[in-house]
Structure 1
Amino acid sequence: MSGKMIDTRVTIDGTFGPFDCRLDPRLCYTKPWFPLAETRKVAARTQYLAYKHGNSSTETIHVIEGRTDGPDSVHLIEGVPGRNGTPAVAVRIRWKGARPTATLGEATADARREVTRKATARRKAARSGRTGAPRAVVVHIDWCGLGEDFDEAAFVVEPSADGLYPVGAPEWRWDFASWWCPACQDSQPWHEVTCPCGLSRPATPLGAAGWNAGCALHCLTPEATSVLVDLDGSARIVDVHAGDTRIDMDRHAEPFGQAEEILRTALAEAKPGELAATGWERAPGRLWGRRYQITFPASRP
């Protein structure tokens, strides 16, 4: 990896992601490096898109888990069924050694039988109480290319010495995720923590989502400075305030719906304990349920 790495968040077209990563900003479009936890999120998202749109339009990432003292294993990664059947890739893994080694091959009948035999051995090993350190193998599959060049279409993503994975391909147009400043209505890349107007973004993605929701509401009422949000069930904005004054707003207006969707998405992706670190204030009283006051700067003229 380059020595000019920064910690940031990336997305593709604002719809795939954002994901935490490290990258050289000069190579943003080609090579972000993800920790394993984020790699799992990328993998889950690619598999969802493949299920939704089919193999012809989506490459998929897969994370296979094991342990340092685990037995050799064989895994079958299947694509979405199509007119020519269900495509599949066999992955043979040796977990012991300095690092796990994986070999990819076609899912032949022999490979499928081997998957069953090895799965039985893995279940016995799990019941024996093995305590080896967790390990992972990350696999990238371009389902459209399997029939043309298997080795190019299916390969293992090797981690860096720091345990980061360069997930993606040159055609994956990664770009910086951004945050919005409610005061000046301007956006900044995630790693730029201070807006040119002088305000600094909240420290966590969930906290920044509160500001992004404020920006959406400023399209309706620039003087808004806080919202009361009910987090029981799906996040719902109960009230909007300018200082201590409640503002009547059109709840059917598009920006209002956008603000609620921003909060719902961020809450669904929030890390454990992140809510407590946002600075959102819990509303007092038993009858309030899980209601929080989210404060943000008013829009500047």
Structure 2
Amino acid sequence: MTDTDQPQQPAATASRLINTRVCIDDMLGPYDAKLNPNNRWNGWLFPNFTLDTVRKIAARTQEAADEYGHDVTDTIYVIDGGIDREGEPRAVVLHVSWQWFDEGSQTAASIIQPHDDGLYSVGGGAWTWHFATWACICGGEEEWHVTHCECGLPRPDDEAADGAAPDTATPTGA
């Protein structure tokens, strides 16, 4: 990996983050996320997720590994550890790249630490996250964080996210 291929670190300030939805084609998502749209790795996004959303991503990656094989699917695990001193849930988020495990690589597993805001960057700098989109009745398509189509109509009101199957009123992959 050259210096230009190195993933950028997540944005340091929350003021640069937007609320949106992201997905990886039809494999993962759409999931609610916060991200800096200018922070990219080879053009792909660096989303940040709540622990509840990470749990949903973990369940889906484990299902995909069962379906397609561990050799081609990275998996996320959330290991619960009770409550911390501040009364917050304590958890370890583990990212396993099984394809590197048999190679004896030191990078086959890594712990994903939460940022200061409590959000986790899952797959940023390695996975092909992109914006989920929504379809307007006029035929236009917009990225999820865009609340109005170019024709002026608002995005349909819906709460289906975090891995729900898309339909005509929910976001679709771009």
**Secondary structure of residue in 1 paired with 2:62:** helix
TM-score, scaled to structure 2: 0.77
Task: Quote the Cα distance in structure 2 between the aligned partners of 1:17 and 1:213.
Answer: 15
1:62 match: 77
* Aligned amino acid, residue 25 of structure 2: D
When the two chains are superposed, the root-mean-square deviation of aligned CA atoms in Å is 2.5
State which of 130, 133, 136 in structure 2 corresponds to 1:181.
Answer: 136
1:32 match: 47
Q: Is the 8 A contact 2:45 2:130 kept in 1?
A: no
Task: Quote the Cα distance in structure 2 between the aligned partners of 1:199 and 1:27.
Answer: 29
Tell me the percent identity: 42
State which of 3, 9, 17 in structure 1 corresponds to 2:29.
Answer: 17
State which of 3, 15, 18 in structure 2 corresponds to 1:6.
Answer: 18
Q: 4+ residue runs of structure 1 moved beyond 4 angstroms?
A: none
**By how many angstroms is 1:133 displaced?**
3.7
**By how many angstroms is 1:30 displaced?**
4.1
Q: Is the 8 A contact 1:14 1:177 kept in 2?
A: no
- 54-63 or 23-32, larger mean C-alpha shift: 23-32
5+ residue gaps in structure 1?
69-95, 99-131, 215-261, 263-301
Q: Is the 8 A contact 2:47 2:124 kept in 1?
A: no
1:290 match: none
1:139 match: 94
**Secondary structure of residue in 2 paired with 1:151:** coil
Task: Quote the Cα distance in structure 1 between the aligned partners of 2:17 and 2:69.
Answer: 35
**By how many angstroms is 1:150 displaced?**
3.9
1:185-196 map, 5 Å? 185-196=139-150
Matched length:
152
Task: Quote the Cα distance in structure 2 between the aligned partners of 1:170 and 1:148.
Answer: 21
Query: Larger helix proportion, structure 1 or 2?
Result: 1
Pair 1:41-2:41 in alignment: no
5+ residue gaps in structure 2?
1-9
1:1-301 map, 5 Å? 1-2=10-11, 3=13, 4-28=16-40, 29-68=44-83, 133-182=88-137, 184-206=138-160, 213=168
* Aligned amino acid, residue 42 of structure 1: I
**By how many angstroms is 1:66 displaced?**
1.7
Bigger CA radius of gyration: 1
Distance change >3 Å, CA 186–CA 52, structure 1 → 2: same
**Secondary structure of residue in 2 paired with 1:205:** coil
**Secondary structure of residue in 1 paired with 2:53:** helix
1:249-275 CA distance string (max 9 Å, x none): xxxxxxxxxxxxx7xxxxxxxxxxxxx
1:18-63 CA distance string (max 9 Å, x none): 0111111123514111111110111011000000111111000000
1:74 match: none
